[in-house]
Amino acid sequence: MNPRRRARIAALAVLLLAPVVAPYDPYELRVDHLFEPPEPRSYMTATMGYGTLGFALPAAMGAKLGSPSRPVVAVIGDAGIQFTLPELATAVQEHIPVVVLVWSNRGYEEIRFLMEEKGIPSAGFDIDSPDYVRLAQAFGCQAAVARDGDDLSRLLAESSGLDVPLVVGIGEEALCS
């Protein structure tokens, strides 16, 4: 998946729903280059590179606690969320209704891409991702898979009024359609 395509989808999510996004890695999503925040304190990112896997979920929870009236979207990859997945239980228990967009590419795609681009044999970057919808539901979250951009728009619109997180799985095949 082209990182610019992912960034456009993330920007769409923000424009439809929330002024605050907490992606885990600016290199992966390239949102920093394509998204113009609508107002100050509307875009949060980790600036430390690949050492920030898992940043988006707890950062989004903190952003929501800091600004409870503002919707918050966390953008995170299916590998990165595995670093902080248990935080969903806390978000449910404490009624922190963030939206979590989980990009599913079954691995550490950006790292793999950069290594292949430099001619370095890649190994250990493909992962077996669990069913994030079922996992999120087991934690008590609302959860669904977005099949395309229209489905994503509908899910985001329906998220207002929730008192628990909404986890939305987004597969690469859906975003390419």
* b/e code 120-152 from CB counts within 10 Å (16+ = b): eeeeebeeebeebbebbeebebbbbbbbebeeb
* Whether residue 50 has pLDDT greater than 70: no
pLDDT in tens, 84-113: 899 999 999 999 999 998 887 776 766 777
- pTM listed for this prediction: 0.77
Angstrom distance (rounded) from CA 59 to CA 66: 10
Angstrom distance (rounded) from CA 22 to CA 103: 13
The per-residue pLDDT for 22 is 44
User: Which residue has better confidence, 12 or 70?
Assistant: 70
* Whether residue 23 has pLDDT greater than 50: no
CATH topology of domain 3-130+149-175: Rossmann fold (3.40.50)
CB 55 within 8 A of CB 46: yes
Tokens of 55: 């940043």
User: Which residue has better confidence, 119 or 166?
Assistant: 166
The ranges assigned to domains in the chain are: 3-130+149-175
Angstrom distance (rounded) from CA 151 to CA 57: 22
Angstrom distance (rounded) from CA 19 to CA 40: 9
What average pLDDT does the chain have? Answer: 76
